[in-house]
Structure 1
Amino acid sequence: MERIRFFLERINHVRFVRYLLFLFLGLFLFAALYVQVKPRQYELRLFDIATETIRSPITIEDKETTEKLKKEAANKVADVYTLKKEYAENRVDLISSLFTTIVEIQDEAKGKNKEQAEMVDKLKERLPQEWFSYLSESEWEKLLQADPEDINTAKEAAVTSVHSIMAERITKSELEKARAKVQDELKYIILPPSLEKIVIKLTKQAIIPNVIYDRAATEEKRRQAMDEVKPVKILQGQIIVEEGQFITNEIYRQLQLVGLLENERSFQPLIGLFLFVLLLLSPVVYYFGREKTNMNLFVYATIFTIMILVMELLRLIPESDAFSAGYLVPVAFGTMLVRIFIGERMAIITSILFAVCGSLMFNEEFGTNGTMQVSLAVYLVTSGLAGSFFLHKQLRKAKIWQAGVFVAFINVVVMLALNLLKNGHYSLAETGMFLLMAVASGIFSAILTIGLLPVLEASFGILSSMKLIELSNPNHPLLRKILTEAPGTYHHSIMVANLAEAACEAIGANGLLARVACYYHDIGKTKRPRYFIENQIGSNPHDHLSPQLSKNIILAHVSDGVAILKKHRMPKEIIDIAEQHHGTTLLKYFYHKALGQMDYVPEEEFRYPGPKPQTKEAAIVSIADSVEAVVRSLSNPSQEKIEKIVRGIIAERLQDNQLNECDITLKELETVATSLCETLNGVFHSRIEYPEIRKEKVRHA
């Protein structure tokens, strides 16, 4: 243990070591979560028989199937045709103009004895050429020879027929059917048979399709049909292949899609885990990155590593529907240790980190790698916070058992709440198993905390708040020794402790450490208690000793105290304060007494051996020790006298360079002076004088 502590002290201020610790935490956490995040893969081939039921570990869209369904939906959409009403009007105008042109040519030919061929040529000049393919030359000649009244009758009948038939939708496929209606429309007109046939032919040709393919509208309808197709998804936990089933092409494709085949290598989970670990450890890096030493980070890394290892061990326990090892995790022991050694804020952060890690490590449902089990996360974070909050005020080992019971109670309540929220129908045996795991988690947390607490304290030389509170117990053997052997010193130590604690807390130093150190700082006086004025009743032994001998006795109480504290394996911080509380100050009384007897006395002989105070706590204890001794010697202390003494002692320490080796500032010294004055004024406040009660002799009858 001593070698470990010595090694840690040597690297305590090396900043590079801090980065190595952060790296270790990141790599360790990455390795612990990698097994859970790494996708489970199977060695399967087409047309193999599945040896087990395989479920999807993730929810993913089956884009290939979705695209296939979209194409099928688009193919089912019929082409869109748009009715063109203007086509009917155009064809009516066209057939009307044809007969009008015939009448005009007939009128022009009257009295001119034009030949039929010439009239046909004129007609060809005025009509579209396509019309002349519909009738023969002889038929056009018959039409030109027809009676004008018959032409007008034919015109009216043809126009009416075209208008009537083309009022309805006519597609290309329905064109012949529509033209067939012309004969029915014209069967009642009174025309020469030969002319009737010609009119029917022309009218049929006037009928054309009046709907056209609308490409834009068709594409829009197909797009709408495709949009209505919902994405096909393979859901998390969905069975892809059952045990004994053949691996078809479709099943093989789905296994490949969800990444369950060994020939598939995906680095996405690893990248995600890397980012996740960075996110988890960022508050840890932020918190410890600001500290000047590495000791707290060493302790935290140890606690964190032990907690993750405990989770890994519990993961080896087989799980069932009525048993999940995740609910056995004693997460509260990690947060309680962090609360004891580091502080409440870090304990809260750690409870969240452990809950997230545990929910990932114990999520075995459907093989859902890399996902969180929310109910377990809630359970773990509540358990961790319960342990931390219970130790908020009273940091004593006796309270750890009570904290374990409190955590067990909270675990039971949370377990019941979660089961009720799930609306699960659990049997009495299953419910009892869950509650038993909840209780066991709390009890195990207390056992592990009590067991690891002294190991961590001894390994790292950490002086925790709980250890300090234990050392402040009046029944501690050394405190009993001071009380019984040097009661004046004991009272002096209590007074100095009150002064030092208040002053330390005023500047943000460790007030509890200062208080406990004050209890033990004069333990060396128990070796020769009668030679110290606070323990003297009657004569002073120093009146009969030489200044040099008195000096040796007084100065020795520091080294004697350090020896006693080391013998009892007291924490280094308390030993250091006991050794430094006088610094290298001058023992003025005996120095001046020696000067009165001798011409020359080296001042160094009458100075304490030191070292000077190295910390703020040691400096404040040194000042408070002198202040209390001087103020106590005043016969009638007033506020003015107390303030003058306090500021005078601080000024003297500064002039004597006693505070040069600690990092206390002048501003903090001003705050310390104010705090000392306030505390002393409260102790030495003025009291009213009570008149003496006249003693009367009582006569006995």
Structure 2
Amino acid sequence: MIKPFNRLLRSRPLLAFHERQKNQERNLNRIFSPLLIVGTILLLTLLLAYQPGAGHIYLRVGEVSPREIRASRSVFYVDTTKTHRLQEAAAEAVHPVFDPDDKANVEAMRTVAQLFERMQTERAALQAHNPIHAVNLHNAVVSSQFTSLLPSDALRRMLTLPEPVFQRLQQVTSRLVSTAMEREIRDQGTDLKDAIVQTSEALDNALPDAQDRVIARMVIAHALRPNLHFNALKTARAREAAMHSVRPYIDRVFMGDRILAPGEIVTQQALDKLTALGLVNPREELATNVAIAILTVLMVLAINYYIAVNLPQVYRNRRRMALLWTIVVLAVFGLKAGAVLFGMTVANGQPGYLSIASVTAMGMLVCALIDMNLAVLLVAVMAALTGILMNHEVRFTVMTLVSGLVGIMGVQVTKRKNRLLMLLLTLAIVNVAMVWLLGMLFDDETADMLRGTLWAVILTAPVATFLYWIGTLALEKPFGLLTPFLLMELSSTDHPLLQKLCALAPGTYAHSMMVGTLAEAAARAIGADALLCRIGGYYHDIGKMDHPEFFVENQRRENVHSRLSPSLSAIIIIAHVRDGVKIAKAARLPQEICDIIEQHHGTTLISYFYHRALMDNGGGDEIPLGFEKRFRYPGPKPQTREAAIVMMADSVEAAARSLENPDPEQLHRLVEEILHHKAEDGQFDECPLTFRDMRLISDAFLRILQAICHRRVPYPDQGNAVVKPDTLATFDANLPIEQEIERKDVSSSLLLEPYVDTEASVLSSIVPEAAEAERETYAHRDLSQLSQESSDTAASTRRSSTPSKRRKESRRSEHSTDK
């Protein structure tokens, strides 16, 4: 029966069918991502560019109002006309900025010194040529280089002045120039003229001779210069800063005030009032729509690139990518709805807070369903969009960002349904605090802050929490997502799968409960997802429900593995992993739980049957190629810390059950050997476990095991009765063969997994589901003989309560014998 089945699996039509399926999957993956991105960009562009006409006005300054417009509510507005006037006045009040010239004083003094030094030289030359003659004096005056500075009469006087008078003139002139240059002399205005006049007045007291004063004034006027130069760039910047420092002129329009009459020309002041009321929308112009489209493309591509680089597992998951962009589109829809309602007629309220609620809910949903870091990125992007859509209101940008981040942190902390109220209260408190902080920052009136408090409490926090709760419940199962709500539902012992496991395989159920407890303690010790580990421990062996009597913890009949070949026994052991994955997917369990079920044995070697097969084939001197692979689980190895923890908890719990009255030292040695064996076998090579994690996991296991496996005091009525150990030896495929042999007399009676009634039950329930490489030999035993022995044993051990049942069993035994 096996060979035809193998031939069918190797047939060309079946192989071609599988190849076509793989090609279709690859082609779908190539097409899906671009289509999703393009569709998202189109939807977001339409949402952001759409401007509803109802209740909104499209007017510009200078146009004629077609109808009467009155204020629908009281609101403060910025009067841009008066603000501009105040800014111009502030700019005009700014004084010009001048840069000091440090060299001006030195150059002025050098000019005076050079003039008198040159004049002194002329005087010396004139005296050497008999200065009595008028001809020589005339020639000296004509040849002097100061003819352009001083008139000829002044030059003659300076050339003929007595030496004491000449020295006195030089000293007075130098002192007055130095004094004048110490004051500010700007290159604009009358500072230079004022300095010359002031020095002239000082000369009246310093020089008695009028001609000497004239000469000194000419020299001083030539030497003085500006020491401050105008800086146009700095002046412009100072005036611009002064304009920006002017606070906008805030005025108020009251509800019912007429803003525009029919046929009235629209002024800037009227447009300011309409803008503050949220009644003015920009015209749908081509340039505006193109800018919105470009902004949308950049935003979507940037987020998609971030996911591809940092979250490749999410990027490759079509369902999660579709879920992500669906949440984003819905959040933008809520954001746009809040922007459209912004400023509408609502008594004592502001429906623009709806935008904050939608973005906060989006952040919490993305955090709970996909990834926390991605949620933070999306909240930041949406906060910027909120400010743009809400008439550039900075307060809404800040409130959206803070509310979204607090919601994300609340989701990380809140893992239970009954703590949703705490999340709601946290959001309400934070939003109220932001209303008052921003209100004080922008000098809002107390009445406005009270209205903002009301809307933050009755709209933002409740709506965001409700959207998060209903969105999680609505999306978790259709998209196969792992959420705190779903984990809490799966952890309930009333879950149908756990109820079925308890009814069909009570021993497996008890084992799973203990594995969940051990895994949860270990996960808490290393900071892994403790709730996921506990649920993974509960469901890791649900594959045993299909044939519960085949497994030792549920078995009440004699062991048939002693009459099975090692290869068939290995196939039976491995089958429960595939059955568990199949049951989990049929029940639509999250992918993370399915992964734990599939990986909780990794590629562990079923060492007992492997060594038994080696002995049956001559002691294992020459091991055939691929022989060991038949006795290993197909894997994969644990890919996450949670899957590795469940693997270790499964092995440790099974091994601990075999110890009789263990002490802490035995438990410690047992846990260390099992964890060391798993690590040496390479089972943790593909998950991010560290040596520190292994130590903490070992300590957590020991704490739980010591509490469970402690010694008990015998009851008085037991007396000296000796409790005989179970005559049915147990076998754990997770343990090394050496440790397994030490546990009990395994060779005497090997009670492992299934009880086989007939050959047909083996072939129909186990073998067809095994891997092709494991479907070869039932060596060393004829299957028909095995079926015959199994049927005879079953008939002899059954106890029927009525003669009719005995007759049925007798006929069944005879039928098996004939077969």
Aligned to 1:683: 704
Q: Is the 8 A contact 1:408 1:440 kept in 2?
A: no
Distance change (3 Å), C-alpha of 1:634 and 1:581: same
Cα shift at 1:519 = 0.6
Distance change (3 Å), C-alpha of 1:378 and 1:606: closer
Distance change (3 Å), C-alpha of 1:317 and 1:552: same
Structure 2 CA distance for aligned equivalents of residues 513 and 671 of structure 1 = 21
Of 316, 320, 343, the residue aligned with 1:319 is 343
Aligned to 1:627: 652
Cα shift at 1:23 = 11
User: Which piece of structure 1 moves more, 583-592 or 378-387?
Assistant: 583-592
User: Which piece of structure 1 moves more, 463-472 or 549-558?
Assistant: 549-558
Cα shift at 1:285 = 6.4
Structure 2 CA distance for aligned equivalents of residues 357 and 32 of structure 1 = 12
Q: Is the 8 A contact 2:45 2:296 kept in 1?
A: no
Pairing 1:449-468 to 2, within 5 Å after superposition: 449-458=468-477, 460-468=479-487
Cα shift at 1:374 = 3.3
Kindly provide the amino acid, as one letter, of the partner of residue 677 in structure 1: S
Of 226, 235, 244, the residue aligned with 2:265 is 244
TM-score (norm 1): 0.57
Aligned to 1:491: 510
Q: What are the superposed Cα offsets for residues 162-206 of structure 1, whole Å, 9 maximum, x if unpaired?
A: xxxxxxxxxxxxxxxxxxxxxxxxxxxxxxxxxxxxxxxxx99x9
Q: Which runs of 5+ in 1 are unaligned?
A: 1-5, 75-81, 87-107, 109-120, 130-202, 248-260, 365-370, 697-701
Kindly provide the amino acid, as one letter, of the partner of residue 610 in structure 1: P
1:569 matched to 2:588: yes
User: Which piece of structure 1 moves more, 27-36 or 393-402?
Assistant: 27-36
Aligned to 2:310: 290
Answer 1 or 2: higher relative contact order, Cα 8 Å, separation at least 6.
1
Of 414, 418, 425, the residue aligned with 1:394 is 414
Structure 2 CA distance for aligned equivalents of residues 506 and 513 of structure 1 = 14
Aligned to 2:403: 383
Kindly provide the amino acid, as one letter, of the partner of residue 319 in structure 1: G
Of 536, 540, 545, the residue aligned with 1:521 is 540
Of 330, 337, 361, the residue aligned with 2:389 is 361
Q: Is the 8 A contact 1:522 1:561 kept in 2?
A: yes
**Identity over aligned residues, as a percent?**
28
Aligned to 1:306: 330
Instruction: For residue 508 of structure 2, give the secondary structure of its aligned residue in structure 1.
Output: helix
Structure 1 CA distance for aligned equivalents of residues 617 and 215 of structure 2 = 144
Structure 2 CA distance for aligned equivalents of residues 678 and 479 of structure 1 = 29
Kindly provide the amino acid, as one letter, of the partner of residue 683 in structure 1: I
Structure 2 CA distance for aligned equivalents of residues 7 and 35 of structure 1 = 41
Cα shift at 1:449 = 1.6
Q: Is the 8 A contact 2:519 2:530 kept in 1?
A: yes
Kindly provide the amino acid, as one letter, of the partner of residue 576 in structure 1: D
Cα shift at 1:570 = 1.2
Instruction: For residue 662 of structure 2, give the secondary structure of its aligned residue in structure 1.
Output: coil
Pairing 1:399-548 to 2, within 5 Å after superposition: 399-400=419-420, 403-419=423-439, 422-425=442-445, 431-432=450-451, 435-436=454-455, 438-458=457-477, 460-501=479-520, 503=522, 510-535=529-554, 539-542=556-559, 546-547=563-564
Kindly provide the amino acid, as one letter, of the partner of residue 681 in structure 1: L
Instruction: For residue 482 of structure 2, give the secondary structure of its aligned residue in structure 1.
Output: coil
Q: What are the superposed Cα offsets for residues 209-257 of structure 1, whole Å, 9 maximum, x if unpaired?
A: 9689789768969889x96995685979679xx973899xxxxxxxxxx
Instruction: For residue 391 of structure 1, give the secondary structure of its aligned residue in structure 2.
Output: helix
Instruction: For residue 677 of structure 1, give the secondary structure of its aligned residue in structure 2.
Output: helix
Distance change (3 Å), C-alpha of 1:682 and 1:233: closer
Cα shift at 1:299 = 5.4
Q: Is the 8 A contact 1:504 1:511 kept in 2?
A: yes
Structure 1 CA distance for aligned equivalents of residues 592 and 266 of structure 2 = 70
- Residues paired across the two proteins, number: 544
User: Which piece of structure 1 moves more, 21-30 or 339-348?
Assistant: 21-30
Structure 2 CA distance for aligned equivalents of residues 9 and 462 of structure 1 = 21
Distance change (3 Å), C-alpha of 1:270 and 1:453: same
Q: Is the 8 A contact 1:333 1:446 kept in 2?
A: yes
Of 314, 334, 338, the residue aligned with 2:366 is 338
Aligned to 1:674: 695
Q: Is the 8 A contact 2:334 2:354 kept in 1?
A: no
Structure 2 CA distance for aligned equivalents of residues 42 and 640 of structure 1 = 86
Structure 2 CA distance for aligned equivalents of residues 338 and 591 of structure 1 = 47
Cα shift at 1:612 = 3.7
TM-score (norm 2): 0.50
Cα shift at 1:624 = 3.0
Structure 1 CA distance for aligned equivalents of residues 673 and 518 of structure 2 = 16
Q: Is the 8 A contact 1:579 1:610 kept in 2?
A: no
Structure 2 CA distance for aligned equivalents of residues 323 and 308 of structure 1 = 22
Instruction: For residue 589 of structure 2, give the secondary structure of its aligned residue in structure 1.
Output: coil
Q: What are the superposed Cα offsets for residues 351-373 of structure 1, whole Å, 9 maximum, x if unpaired?
A: 444333322321x2xxxxxx5x3
Structure 1 CA distance for aligned equivalents of residues 571 and 409 of structure 2 = 51
Instruction: For residue 441 of structure 1, give the secondary structure of its aligned residue in structure 2.
Output: helix
Aligned to 1:173: none
Larger Rg: 1
Q: What are the superposed Cα offsets for residues 265-292 of structure 1, whole Å, 9 maximum, x if unpaired?
A: 999x979x979978x9989966873344
Q: What are the superposed Cα offsets for residues 607-657 of structure 1, whole Å, 9 maximum, x if unpaired?
A: 4773443524445433432232122111133455445544554566678x7
Instruction: For residue 471 of structure 2, give the secondary structure of its aligned residue in structure 1.
Output: helix
Instruction: For residue 343 of structure 2, give the secondary structure of its aligned residue in structure 1.
Output: coil
Aligned to 2:354: 328
Cα shift at 1:405 = 4.9
Aligned to 2:661: 636
Q: Is the 8 A contact 1:304 1:334 kept in 2?
A: yes
Structure 1 CA distance for aligned equivalents of residues 296 and 46 of structure 2 = 14
Cα shift at 1:337 = 1.4
Kindly provide the amino acid, as one letter, of the partner of residue 459 in structure 2: A
Q: What are the superposed Cα offsets for residues 546-577 of structure 1, whole Å, 9 maximum, x if unpaired?
A: 53697776555434433432332112332233
Structure 1 CA distance for aligned equivalents of residues 458 and 48 of structure 2 = 26
Kindly provide the amino acid, as one letter, of the partner of residue 360 in structure 1: I
Structure 1 CA distance for aligned equivalents of residues 505 and 305 of structure 2 = 48
Q: Is the 8 A contact 2:580 2:597 kept in 1?
A: yes
Q: What are the superposed Cα offsets for residues 98-119 of structure 1, whole Å, 9 maximum, x if unpaired?
A: xxxxxxxxxx9xxxxxxxxxxx
Pairing 1:653-672 to 2, within 5 Å after superposition: 659=683, 663-664=686-687, 668=690
Cα shift at 1:598 = 11
Distance change (3 Å), C-alpha of 1:209 and 1:317: same
Q: Is the 8 A contact 1:585 1:658 kept in 2?
A: no
Distance change (3 Å), C-alpha of 1:458 and 1:625: same
Kindly provide the amino acid, as one letter, of the partner of residue 625 in structure 1: D
- TM-align CA RMSD: 6.7
Q: Is the 8 A contact 2:599 2:643 kept in 1?
A: yes
Distance change (3 Å), C-alpha of 1:207 and 1:575: closer
Structure 2 CA distance for aligned equivalents of residues 417 and 54 of structure 1 = 21
Cα shift at 1:688 = 6.2
Pairing 1:142-291 to 2, within 5 Å after superposition: 230=239, 233=243, 244=265, 289-291=309-311
Kindly provide the amino acid, as one letter, of the partner of residue 354 in structure 2: L
Pairing 1:46-57 to 2, within 5 Å after superposition: none
Kindly provide the amino acid, as one letter, of the partner of residue 338 in structure 1: V
